[in-house]
Structure 1
Amino acid sequence: MSGKFQLKKAKDGQFHFNLLASNGQVILTSELYKAKDSALNGIESVRKNATREGAFESKTSGNDKFYFVLKATNGQVVGQSQMYASAASRDAGIQSVTSNAPDAKLDDETA
C-alpha cells in the first residue's frame, strides 16, 4: 500500500491536505488555501518537488524538536512535517515523503 493525499475542508471553508504514509501516519501538512484548486496545485507541487535535490530544509524548533519543510522551486513552502524527537526520525520522515508523494493517490474528503 502506498501513501495518499488527504484533501480536507476546514471549518472556515478553506482547504488543506495531509500526505499520509502507507501506515496512515501524517508525514506532511499543507498550509490553508482559500480555493480547492489552489490546494490541488499544492498537492501537485509536493509530488513534483518531493524528489527534487535541495527541496527539503531540515530545521530545529526553539524547544529542540526536529522538523522539515518542503519548498517549491520558487522557494515557497508547500508542506511541513510534524515535530520529531530526533534528527534521525526527521530524516526518516523526509525519506518517507520522497518515496510516498510521487505516486500517492488523492482522497478528496471535501465533497
Structure 2
Amino acid sequence: MKATFEVLRARDDGWIFQLKIGGHQVVLHSNTYRTLAGCLNGVESCREHSPYDRFYGRGEDQVRFTFHVMASNNRIIGLGCVSASAAEREIAIGLVKRCVQDARTLIARTGDEKK
C-alpha cells in the first residue's frame, strides 16, 4: 500500500507532518515543529523508530483507543489516529509499521518530494 509523509504549514506558523496511507487516510500526525528542518528530522525519526513495537505507546479510555510513536529518548514523534477498538488500533499500527520505510515525503508548500 502506498504511503506519503505530507509536510504542511501549521496554523501557528510552524510545521507538521502526517502519514497518509492510500492517498487519503491519515494514520499518524506530528505535533508542531518550529522549523521545516525540524519537521523533516521528525519524519526521519519516525522512519527509524516506527518499525519496532517497543517504540509504540498505547492508550485507551471508555470509548476510544489511541497510540503514539516515540523516539529512543522517549519523546513522542507521532500521534496515531483514534480507533473505536483495540483491534482497529492494532491494524493502524500494523499499517504504519509496514508502510513507513517506503513512504515518500512531500512538502506541501513547495510540492518538493524527498525520499
Q: TM-score range by the shorter chain?
A: over 0.9
TM-score by length of 2: 0.90
Q: Which is richer in strand? A: 2
The C-alpha deviation readout for 1:9-59, integer Å capped at 9, x for no partner, is 013210001001125200001000000000000000110001124011111
In the TM superposition, what are the counterparts of 1:1-111 in structure 2 within 5 Å?
A: 1-61=1-61, 63-111=62-110
Amino acid at match of 1:70: V
Letter in 2 for 1:83: V
Normalized against structure 1, the TM-score is what?
Answer: 0.93
**TM-align CA RMSD:** 1.2
Identity of matched residues, %: 28
Kindly report structure 1 stretches of 4+ aligned residues shifted beyond 4 Å.
none
Letter of the 1:105 counterpart: R
Structure ranking higher on relative contact order (CA contacts 8 Å, 6+ apart): 1
Please state whether the residue corresponding to 1:89 is helix, strand or coil: helix
- Give, in whole Å, the separation in 1 of the partners of 2:17 and 2:68: 14
Q: Which runs of 5+ in 2 are unaligned?
A: 111-115
Contact 1:6-1:20 within 8 A present in 2 as well: yes
The count of residues paired between Structure 1 and Structure 2 equals 110
Which range is displaced more, 10-19 or 85-94? 10-19
Secondary structure at 1:54 match in 2: helix
Which runs of 5 or more residues in structure 1 are unaligned?
A: none
Name the CA distance, whole Å, in 1 between partners of 2:52 and 2:65: 21
Is the 8 Å Cα contact of residues 16 and 39 (structure 1) preserved in structure 2?
A: yes
The amino acid that maps onto 1:57 is: G
